[in-house]
Every structure is written in structure tokens, then in C-alpha cells.
Structure 1
Amino acid sequence: MTTATPSDASIDNVLTPAAGVPSAPPAGGAGRCPIDHSAMRAPNGCPVSARAADFDPFSDGYQQDPPDYVRWSREQEPVFYSPQLGYWVVTRYHDIKAIFRDNITFSPSIALEKITPTGPEANAVLASYEYGMSRTLVNEDEPAHMPRRRVLMEPFTPPELGHHEAMVRRLAREYVDRFIDDGRADLVDQMLWEVPLTVALHFLGVPEEDMDMLRQYSIAHTVNTWGRPKPEEQVAVAHAVGKFWQFAGKVLDKMRADPSGPGWMQYGIRMQKQHPEIVTDSYLHSMMMAGIVAAHETTANAAANAIKLLLQHREAWEDICADPSLIPNAVEECLRHNGSVAAWRRLATRDVRIGGVDIPAGAKLLIVTSSANHDERHFNDADFFDIRRENAGDQLTFGFGAHQCLGKDLARMELQIFLEEFSRRLPHMRLAEQAFSYVPNTSFRGPEHLWVEWDPAANPERRDRAVLSARAPVRIGDITRVDAYRTVKVESAVALTSDIVRLRLVAADGRPLPRWTPGAHIDVVCAVASGGIQDGGASSQDGAAAARPISRQYSLCGDPDARDAYEIAVLREPDGRGGSAWVHEYARAGALLRIRGPRNHFHFETDRGTVLLIAGGIGITPVSAMARRARALGLDYRLIYCGRSRASMALLDELTALHGERLQVYASDEGRRADFTALLATPCAETRVYACGPARMIDALTQACAHWPQDTLRVEHFTSALGKLDPSKEHAFEAVLASSGKSVQVRSDQTLLQALRDAHVEVRSDCEEGLCGSCEVRVLDGTIDHRDVVLTRAERESNTKMMSCCSRAAGKRVVLDL
């Protein structure tokens, strides 16, 4: 069972060309700032709100917690002009992702520009060192950027990165050995800065130099580029940056004499001989310096942030100590919740509209990725730290699109190994009392010190030396969707009708569950075998009867504000695929289930004047939660519930008590049928219709709403036959993966999802029928033959996404954001 996503998630609505920039537009309305203040105005004449005028990314509030500092912006004014900074600030997920995706409209050219201009004395110091930082992969425009990226990216591929795992493990072991018996350590000073720096130097092929010197150089580079050094500090910073520049040049000269080594810089020198017009001398010098910073500083900060975050959430820390398989997704959640990159910068190359606000050509943008990672519109219960979060891998800490961080997988590897080493050897480690400080800058953050304490007598390796030999597999590559299961217990199983059971599920460990929104569902992991139901969900190894775990999606139907339990109602379907039969057989009070989610493709929007809610049969489950929310918000709503008979209609007594006259019941055995044609005869732009039920009902509603405004009707389906593949009627096509340029051929007898899997490209999927939306991939170019029942009409027409399990290219080629 799956859903249609709301049209305002479409890139067309997130980012569209501006029709023109007015000199002084009034507040309110499309393309205008949402708040009317006249104290000052942005360059396009838009009034600047008081909160926008006060925005200061160098303040302690931003440095300590950027997402919380701009919460007001995410909720009220997601695009605003900052007079103090001279930048437009963008804070919502879909806006920022759209900016990353379009690197033509939004040039990265200012990414390494000094955010605080320095004075003539500091500039003279830099000139004395012949400082000449030029473009790198970070701030380079097309058409130069992508050819260079492709030439230089091979050392960053997962197979090549795998060669560095043994070294990272060795370093982690050696550094922990130094303080394992001390009972107290500053992890930043004693490990988390030096190990990533050593790995970075090894990866780049740079001889290991004085660590303290390189650390000071790196900090100076950060402050010089993204900080606000005081006038008296600028000269000292300039000297450090100049010395860093000269150091990078000297090392590069030595490499040119013998470029046969294994490092990335030596690889670049060799590629220069093959592609001299792409890999230039000035580029190599700039990348040498920028690479040392990029390859270690963000990783060092990310590691400190992750350990701090996990120790602040003790239960999550204990979970990964007990189950190391959770570590890869825990890394993604740490990067999302408290990543090392707070913001990036872009330059608008033309007049453009972002999130409904007109931005003039030449405008500088501060895109606060840390805020995007806390956007409730994309991350359910975003402030909740959940290492089992299904879409944690959607975080934008590494950026997105053509300029996504090349070294992201090296950083992931290091973070996983660090967490494994600490959780295995120091599971009893705890945060010491301390105040956390950060180097003031707009973009990169991590605590300058991280003091931890433990009782050395309780070190596990003192009791069992086998602890030192344990190893968890490292996962290298993007984690787009993961099987990070949560174990829940069936608190109660109540028969609502003869064939519907209502389950109340609580966390097996008694903790609060993540919040959810109306329309959300969870994936229940069932154990279904070729021979039938398997007791207890255990996997049998009995030949052909071995259990094959499957997932089935069930909408949440309880109170969205409750944190103590999830409720679902499951209809036994005799002709189904076994999932509902398994639930009815196994899910009794006291049973343990594994679930994923919640996630939501059937979003309930509350910005319309009138809401019409329509349910057929078991389709009442998501609709009942929407009705509950509409009632709580005081919305003008009606609830229409259709079924064979009142005896077969779940939740009917509860709905009657909650909604009274707003509920209309149509039971077929009473001779009453809903007349959708009459009900929807007169279109109303202020009404939105939500429906879930059998295909016949959805088809009738679709026809009845045909003359209404586009996407008035939002639906969730039970089944779909649109994705069935008939090879005799299909054509082969090419799928190009934008991040690598790799081409995947999709035969006429296979789905895109199958072809991607054959090419070892991971795309999560569940239903594989175009129902659940989990296999969605972004489309950058090409027209799609949509065969799912998830996307809205506007989303289909935009050609920006497709369901890889069923939809195909309408032509011969499609470019995917993979």
C-alpha cells in the first residue's frame, strides 16, 4: 500500500525562473517575502524581517547549534536576506537540494571566497608568499568541472578506498592503545584530529609532517575562508595560509620528480600527462592545499560530533555497542543530526525564484545544509536522534549532485571504524563535564575538545582479549536506504471485525517511538516461505521451505501525537501474498516484530480551507489519522466512509464518537452508496480531497475530480498492475549515472531496478509493484514512462523522479541522479 506525494515537493514548485524582480514589492503573495517589515530592504526591494536583520552566523547560538538557531526560518521565512552577511540565506531541504542540483544557475564559484574581506596588510602578506589559490573541484564551474572530476575520481571509488581500510584500523587501534588505561582523554587532541590527518596525508601521498603545524595551517585556512578574523588577527592568519601554500608547492615539486607513488596527488600528476588541458599545474597546487583540509578537517570534526552526540544519547550508544551492524546507519544519522558541514555557498547566475522568493542575478547564497537536515518536511520527527532512521542517508552534509564531496566514502569508512573501535573497547565511556567551544565560522564545525572518562578496570579487553580481534564489516558507499530494523512488541491484538485485527505496538526496550504524521506507514517484516507461514518469523534453513523475509506496508491509524505506541489495522486477504495471513497468525500479544519507518508518501497538508476525507474498507486506516488531525486543528472537514456493511467497517464506533455529524457512513448492505459525481460536481480551489480504498473507488474519484484543479485529489492505493513487464512490448534503454558517468544498459526484459542491481548500484525497494515509493530515483534528463501509482500528475509531468521498479525511459536514454 502506498501513496502519492504532495505536488509542492516537486522541483518545479521549489525552484522556478523569476518573471522579473520588482523594485519594491509589497509583502505577501507569490514571489514576495512572507513578512512585512519596512526598517530595511533586501537588494531586490523585499522587506527584511527583524529576525533576518539579527541573523549572525558568527554568534554563539549559530556556532553551538545551527539548525536550532535558524528554526524560525525553516518554519516561517525559509529564504531571507541577511544585511549583516550580505547573503541570501536558504534553510529548507527541498530548496537546498534543488540549488545543489542546478550548478549552472547556482554557481559554486564563491564556495572558497573569503566570507570576510581582509585588509590591505593581510593581503600584502599573502602576496609575499605568492599565494595564488585557483579553482578546485569545490568551486569550479562547468564545463571545466565535470571532465576534471571524472578524470580524477577513480581513487575515490569504493573498490579503491577499500585498500585503505587496514591502515585506518591500524591507526585507530594504535591511538586508542595510547590512552586506554588512563581513564580520561581529550579525544580531539589525542586521536580524532591526528588520525584523519594521517589518513588524509596517506591518501594524498603526502609525507607525514609535523601534525601540530598542519593542524594550525588547516585552522588558519578555515578561518581565512569562512571565518571572521579580527583586524589584528588577519595578518597572523595570512602568514599561516601563506606558509601552507608554500608547503603544498614544495611537496608537489617533490612528487613531480617521482609521481609513481600510490597517492591521489601522484595519480593527478600522471593524469596530467594524459590530459594536460584538464589537469593543469595551477589546479594541482590548489588541490594539494585544499585537499589536505578537505580530506581531514571535516572528518575530524564529524568524528568528534558523532561521538559527542552518541554519548549524549546513551541508549543509542548502548545499541551500537550491543549491535555493531547499526554503526553504518548511525554514522548517517550523526551526519544528519550534527554534521561537520553547517553551510555551503552559491552564486545566482540569473534571476531566479527559490521557495517563492525572487532572487536577483549576482546574489550570494548561504545554503544552511545543517538546517535542511532538520527539516520536518523531509525527515520525520527531525530533531529526534534515531540511529534506525530509514532515510538518514538523505542527509546533505556531503552536498548533493555534481559537486557532492568526492571524499565522502573515505570519511564514512573512518567514522565507522572509529565508532567500532570505541564501542568495542570503551563501551563504558561517558562524556566528562565540560563546555564545548567551536572555531567561529559559517560552514565547518566540530568541538575543539571532547573530554571523555571511563573506569579502566572495567575495560572489556582486560577480561577477554578476544575483544581486540572482533571486526564488523565496513560499508563503503552511499547509504540511501537501509534495513535498520526496530524491534517492537505487540502490546495488544484486538479483532475489530471478523477479518481485521488491530495491533498496538510498543518499543521492545520501552523507549519512546519516533513521531509520525497522518498518512504515514510502517514496514512490518514478515517471514513468508514458499511452503507457507513460518512460526515466530524465524528463518528456516530447510531447503526449499527456507523462509524469505518480506516487508508489507501498513498505515498508522492511532494518535499521531502519541510517542508510546504505534497502531495498525490489518485485513486478512485470502488471495494476498502471505503478509496479512502471517500477521494474523503470528502477531499476537507479546510477540516481537521487526519494523522500519515510519515514512510518509501520503502527506496530509493543512493549508486549505476545506478537507474532504474519503475511505473505502481498510483504507480507513490512514484517513482516520488525518481526520483526527483535522479535528485537533479545527479544520473544516468531512469524513466519508464506505464499506460492505457496518459489521465489516473497522474503527466505526471510535470514528462516530470523535467526529459525530462530520462522519457520513455508506454501507452497501443498507442500500447506500456514495455518489462521488454529485459530491464533486462543483470544483473548489480551496478544497483538497484525500482518499484511500480499493481501485474501483479510486478510479471513480479520479474521474469525478477530472475537472477540479490539478492534484486536488491525493490518493493511496492498495494494488497496482501498471508495472507488469511484457518484454515483447518494451524497448531497451540506457541509464547514465550522473555522479560517475557510468552507463547501465536496461534490457527490454528487465526493470531499471534489476539492471541497477546487476551493476552493483544499490537502490532500496520493497513492494516492487510501483506502490510504496521506496525505489524512487531522481531524474536529471530524459522523458519517463511512468507506471507507478505514487507520483502526482504534476510530479510525473516534471520528469524529475521515477520509480525504478516499474517505470521506464520513454526514449533511449535517461540520466539519473545516482
Structure 2
Amino acid sequence: MSGECPVRHDFQMLEQSFVKDPYATCPAVQESPVFWSSDLGCYVVTRYDDVQRVLSDHELFSNAATNVPVTPINEEAQRVLDESEVWFRPNLTNADAPRHTMVRRWVADAMSPRRIRALEPGVRAWASTKVDEMVAKGRADIYAELCFPLPAITGFTLLGFPPEDVEQLKSWCDRRVVLTYGRATGAEQVEVAENVAAFWRYTNEFAQSRIDDPRDDLTSDIIKHHLADPEEFSLRDVSAVLFGLSIAAHETTTNLMTNGVRQLLAHREQWEALVADPTLIPNTIEECLRFDGPVIAWRRRATADVDVSGTVIPKDSVVLMLLYSANHDPRRFDDAGSFDIRRPEARYHLTFGKGTHFCAGAPMARMEMKILLENLIEKAPGMRLVEDQALEFIPNISQRGPHGLVVDFEPALTHA
């Protein structure tokens, strides 16, 4: 029999105390498997088994709420978007079957193992050169110089975007998450909307260029489906897919890398164990994804009244799954609050999702993280975090990673 749903007024994901350390809230939020957040206006699911169920059940939990802005877009920002005809028809993260099934199959085919393998030499060469440069300087912001540009270059290369456009594309991505997942001021909304509109125009123009001059890249593969049925899958659909993939291939992997390096260096014994035994890299990546993942929460919408651990979530309600809490659930992970690169069950994290919406870019993210760790272990085994640095996290309900992480590459290095 279902009981009354607890209401929490103190669950404030956009407040600085939460943004700084969401994991400190795990014991409190896990007391209730489901509660109502008065701040966000949604039902919050906190425990591993329930989050896994919501992720997996695509009939009872629709993806329609995934990209709905947390804060309504103001008139000026909306005008900026409208003037560039920014339009995101449901295709991937915000779509349900059968459309999601169709488009995801096309993306998976285009993001083939062959294409991922073809990217690897370039990723290795770029990462090796960059790590050498940082080590030579002695101190560097590993976020700005390595973790931010590497996934951007890799992801944009996969899509086929020219190398000379990468710097401009990166600048358009700055703080993009606040428009959908944050509580931006009016001026911030307009600024981000202008960048989103510029990126949108770029993807439209680029898609058209691949119709005129197809290449061996993901965009050209997706274009083939537009040409086969332009009414069902328009050029704007292609642009929407490119826009979404640019986020998935770039920003979340940046968070994975920065969070992972931070936790490894903060847990010095874990870093030294990895340096001594690089065969631990694959499991280390999974533990980084579990312990301090790049995506901390995700949304669904209930398609019917549904009972989740004794609480009835009404039809059409937004459901927020706390991935960070599920990944730290002591009912699933022994000593869940400890960072352990040898953890045998690390791979059971929910950071990449579950079921038909499992992240299509997971193999590429793992490949990039593996190359990053291999280079740092080989070239900078003695690197350390600069102490007492203030880390900046952009307040939002979904993606998390510091925008800056300064590292010394020699333990005894001094600076004037």
C-alpha cells in the first residue's frame, strides 16, 4: 500500500553548498527512496534499484522531460533562439520509441568501432604532446589545457567539423548547461542563447555542406538517412542530432577527465597504486564514473500513475533520478563512500544510463580517459594537486565538473 510522499524543502541542487559537494547529501536523501522537491517541482528518486528501474522502463518513464529548461527562458533569450529558428525535435536523449530507436541505430552505426579506432592515433598524439608541454612548464591548469580541449577535438573530429573551427566551437559551448539545467540570470540566458544560436546555425550550414560534399565522417553517414526520407528526417533533424552529439561527445567527457584526475590525486594512495600497476586503468575509469561521475542526475516523465517503492508518482510528473546518490548507495556498493580503483563492482554504476538509452558515446569516452591516464602515468607520475585552490562548478541539476584544476608536475616545485 502506498504511503504519503515526503516533501523536502531543503533539497537545493542549485545552491553553492550542494554544488560544492553533492555527495555529502547522500545519507539524508537516501533516507527516502522517493520524495517531492519543492524547489525543483519534481519527484526525486534516490536509491540504486529504483533509479535503475526508472532508467530501464521506457514505457512508464518517458524521455520527454530530459531537456526541458529548469528555469523558463525569458523573452529576450527566446527571441534570440527564434530568430535563428533553433528547433530541437525529439531525436535522441529527449525522444521515445519508435523515433529514438530509429535515430539511435543510425548514430550507433555511424559511431562504429572502426571509426572510434581511427580516432585513437590522433587522440594519442595530441595528448602526448600536450602532457609534455604541461610537464615542461611545471604547473598547469589540467582542465583548460588538457581535459577541456581533448574531448572537444575528438568529438568534433568524429562529427567531421574542420580543425580550424574547433576554437570557435568550444567558445560557443561555454556555460551552455545553465540554459537547460541551471537558474541563469536574464543576462546570462541571453548570452548563452546567442552562443546556442550561433552553434545551431553552424550545424545547419555544416549539414548542408556535407550534402554537397560528403566525407567519411559521422555527419555524412547521418545525412544519408535525411536524403533517403527528407520529410521524416529533415535537415533540421540532422542539425539537432549534431548539436546533441556535440554535448555528449565533449562536455561530459571533460567532466569525467577532470573529476577523475582530481579524485586520483586527492586519494594519493590510489594514484600511486595506479602508477605502479597501469593494468588497473580500465577499472579505475569505472570507479571514477561511479564515485564522481560527470552526470549527477537525469530526468524522465511518468506516462501513468506508477508506484516506486511505496510512493505513487502521478501521471505526467517529472521524475529526477539522482545518479550520484544511486552510485553511492550502500545497498548496492560496499563502503560506497570510499574511492577504490580495485572495487570489483565499480562497473555497475549508472552514470551512462541503462537500457535503450545507454550512452552511445561510452566507448569513446572510455578510450579518451584511458589515453589520458596512460600519458599522465608515464610522463607525470609525481604530479600533485596545487593545495587550497578554489574550484568553480557551474550550478545546474545535471552535469558536474570543476572549471579549472591546477596541478604541479614536480612535488618540490616552488613558484615566485
The 1:215/1:71 distance shift into structure 2, 3 A limit, reads: farther
CA distance, structure 1, for counterparts of residue 102 and residue 167 of structure 2: 36
Equivalent position of 1:358 in the other structure:
312
TM-score (norm 1): 0.49
Deviation per residue, 1:650-703 (Å, 9 max, x gap) = xxxxxxxxxxxxxxxxxxxxxxxxxxxxxxxxxxxxxxxxxxxxxxxxxxxxxx
Equivalent position of 1:302 in the other structure:
256
Mapped pair 1:311 → 2:311: no
Equivalent position of 1:144 in the other structure:
99
Equivalent residue in structure 1 for 2:149, among 173, 190, 194: 194
Contact preservation (8 Å) 1:438, 1:445: yes
Gaps of 5+ in 1: 1-29, 34-45, 459-818
Mapped pair 1:57 → 2:13: yes
Q: CA deviation at 1:272?
A: 3.1
CA distance, structure 2, for counterparts of residue 454 and residue 389 of structure 1: 28
Gaps of 5+ in 2: none
The 1:135/1:452 distance shift into structure 2, 3 A limit, reads: same
CA distance, structure 2, for counterparts of residue 241 and residue 67 of structure 1: 31
Deviation per residue, 1:788-809 (Å, 9 max, x gap) = xxxxxxxxxxxxxxxxxxxxxx
Code of the residue aligned with 2:10 in structure 1: it is D
Code of the residue aligned with 2:359 in structure 1: it is C
Secondary structure in structure 1 of the residue aligned to 2:137: coil
Q: CA deviation at 1:273?
A: 3.5
Contact preservation (8 Å) 1:156, 1:409: no
Code of the residue aligned with 1:414 in structure 2: it is E
CA distance, structure 2, for counterparts of residue 342 and residue 79 of structure 1: 16
Equivalent position of 2:3 in the other structure:
32
Question: Which has the larger strand fraction?
Answer: 1
Contact preservation (8 Å) 2:260, 2:288: yes
Spell out the pairing of 1:636-715 with structure 2 (5 A cutoff): none
Q: CA deviation at 1:61?
A: 2.6
CA distance, structure 1, for counterparts of residue 113 and residue 324 of structure 2: 26
Q: CA deviation at 1:332?
A: 0.3
CA distance, structure 2, for counterparts of residue 126 and residue 310 of structure 1: 41
Equivalent residue in structure 2 for 1:223, among 178, 183, 186: 178
Equivalent residue in structure 1 for 2:383, among 419, 424, 429: 429
Deviation per residue, 1:386-420 (Å, 9 max, x gap) = 11111111111111110111001100000011011
Equivalent position of 1:338 in the other structure:
292
Spell out the pairing of 1:355-754 with structure 2 (5 A cutoff): 355-433=309-387, 434-455=389-410
Mapped pair 1:347 → 2:301: yes
Contact preservation (8 Å) 2:63, 2:96: yes
Secondary structure in structure 2 of the residue aligned to 1:136: coil
Equivalent position of 1:67 in the other structure:
23
Contact preservation (8 Å) 2:63, 2:300: yes
CA distance, structure 2, for counterparts of residue 272 and residue 72 of structure 1: 49
CA distance, structure 2, for counterparts of residue 217 and residue 446 of structure 1: 18
Q: CA deviation at 1:449?
A: 0.3
CA distance, structure 1, for counterparts of residue 3 and residue 90 of structure 2: 35
CA distance, structure 2, for counterparts of residue 355 and residue 281 of structure 1: 43
Equivalent position of 1:734 in the other structure:
none
Equivalent position of 1:117 in the other structure:
72
Equivalent position of 2:119 in the other structure:
164
Q: CA deviation at 1:67?
A: 2.8
Mapped pair 1:329 → 2:300: no
CA distance, structure 1, for counterparts of residue 339 and residue 75 of structure 2: 46
Contact preservation (8 Å) 1:148, 1:279: no
Q: CA deviation at 1:108?
A: 0.6
CA distance, structure 1, for counterparts of residue 308 and residue 112 of structure 2: 34
Identity of aligned residues (%): 39
Spell out the pairing of 1:164-313 with structure 2 (5 A cutoff): 164-259=119-214, 261-274=215-228, 276=230, 279-313=233-267
Contact preservation (8 Å) 2:86, 2:200: yes
Deviation per residue, 1:350-399 (Å, 9 max, x gap) = 00011211100010011111111000111111111111111111111111
Contact preservation (8 Å) 2:6, 2:32: no
Secondary structure in structure 2 of the residue aligned to 1:397: coil
Contact preservation (8 Å) 2:286, 2:349: yes
CA distance, structure 2, for counterparts of residue 233 and residue 286 of structure 1: 23
Deviation per residue, 1:230-272 (Å, 9 max, x gap) = 123222222121112112112212111112x222111111233
Q: CA deviation at 1:64?
A: 2.0
Code of the residue aligned with 1:161 in structure 2: it is I
Equivalent residue in structure 1 for 2:81, among 114, 126, 130: 126
Code of the residue aligned with 2:330 in structure 1: it is E
CA distance, structure 2, for counterparts of residue 451 and residue 386 of structure 1: 23
Q: CA deviation at 1:221?
A: 2.6
Code of the residue aligned with 1:32 in structure 2: it is G
CA distance, structure 2, for counterparts of residue 103 and residue 111 of structure 1: 13
TM-score (norm 2): 0.95
Code of the residue aligned with 2:311 in structure 1: it is V
Contact preservation (8 Å) 2:204, 2:235: no
Q: CA deviation at 1:62?
A: 2.2
Code of the residue aligned with 1:173 in structure 2: it is S
The 1:302/1:392 distance shift into structure 2, 3 A limit, reads: same
CA distance, structure 1, for counterparts of residue 242 and residue 211 of structure 2: 12
Mapped pair 1:97 → 2:52: yes
Q: CA deviation at 1:190?
A: 1.0
- Taking only aligned residues, the RMSD between alpha carbons, in angstroms, comes to 1.8
CA distance, structure 2, for counterparts of residue 376 and residue 68 of structure 1: 14
Secondary structure in structure 2 of the residue aligned to 1:452: strand
Code of the residue aligned with 2:3 in structure 1: it is R
Secondary structure in structure 2 of the residue aligned to 1:54: coil
Comparing both chains, which one has the higher relative contact order based on Cα–Cα distances under 8 Å and sequence gaps of 6 or more?
2
CA distance, structure 2, for counterparts of residue 383 and residue 401 of structure 1: 26
